Amino acid sequence: MPPSHPSDDDRVTEEAADWCLRLQAEEVSDADRAAFERWCRDDPRHLAEFDAMRELWGVSAGLRSRVTATPAPARPVETVRSPMVRAPKQRRWALAACVAAVLAVGWPVGWSFGVLPGTVDVFLGGDRHRVVGLPDGSTVDLNVRTTLVYAQFRDRRSVLMDHGEAYFAVAGDATRPFTVFTAAHRVRVTGTKFNVWANDGELAVTLAEGAVTVSAAAAVGEEPLRLTPGQQGRFARDSRFGSVARVDPVRVLSWREGKLVFDDITLAEAVPLLNPYLAQPLRLADRRVGAMRIGGVYDVADLDRVVASLPRVLPVTIAAKDGALLLSAR
């Protein structure tokens, strides 16, 4: 294979390191695995680099971890600090030896070379909306049942959020780009305010201020979506190409005020937004019921009652089945 440009080598190594982090998560979704397989097939270098990076991870995994707890209204938001690996190919094994040599003293050498992050913070999702601060000065509103992993490197900032919803107010730093990775996509910024909703490979990114780019992880070399304030970029499950629409950010961000605003949307669109708040998740019996429409402003604390009342406002029935509520057309 002909030699590739050094910057392309760096890109492959960075992506391999990101996959090492994502695939070590406690819960790896089917969408994660499918996106990883596509990434491996896209270029023969990808799997080779991943295997090498995984071997390097095995060396650095001996570094001591530090666990702290930050109190929150409902339950603690845990911060877990542990190593992640990133290294350009031409110096990877030299740095691996270096990491092995400094296991007893921690991360300073790895940090100085950009191999290891200064911190990896894991904010565990809870049962209510909360605001957390990141080490770089950014703040994040976490919606219910949303877990976020933040890794701060010398030259970049990375977030992993496979499932859930979060509003980011990113501290500006042009020297350290800020990237949010979901199950199959990435959102890149330097400093801005935006909302990310991810659900089993689906993605919606709504921009309030600044600028972001959004792309599918498997879309190597393809032009990303570029959003301006008031726009929302959406990717369907397993899609490499997204769409952009004009939206009202105030409506999209109403969850931060404890509200959900449905503007005549289908039940297929509404159910994924409702489920994080419900005692039992909703499931749609078929496309017919999924095509029915719903509108209104709802208090998130009252959504179980709203769901129970659906048969009075729509031609549907609700039945408990396999731990969920099955919604069927009458």
CA distance 80 to 120: 6
pLDDT, averaged in runs of 10, over the chain (330 residues): 48 70 62 83 82 53 32 36 36 36 39 57 82 94 90 86 92 91 86 92 93 82 88 87 92 94 93 94 94 94 94 94 92
Decide: pTM greater than 0.75. Answer: no
Q: What is the DSSP letter of 313?
A: H
CA distance 85 to 153: 10
Q: What is the pLDDT of residue 54?
A: 61
CA distance 188 to 121: 19
pLDDT by residue (tens digit) across 109-149? Answer: 444 444 466 777 888 777 889 999 999 999 999 999 898 88
Report the Cα 99 to chain-centroid distance in Å.
29
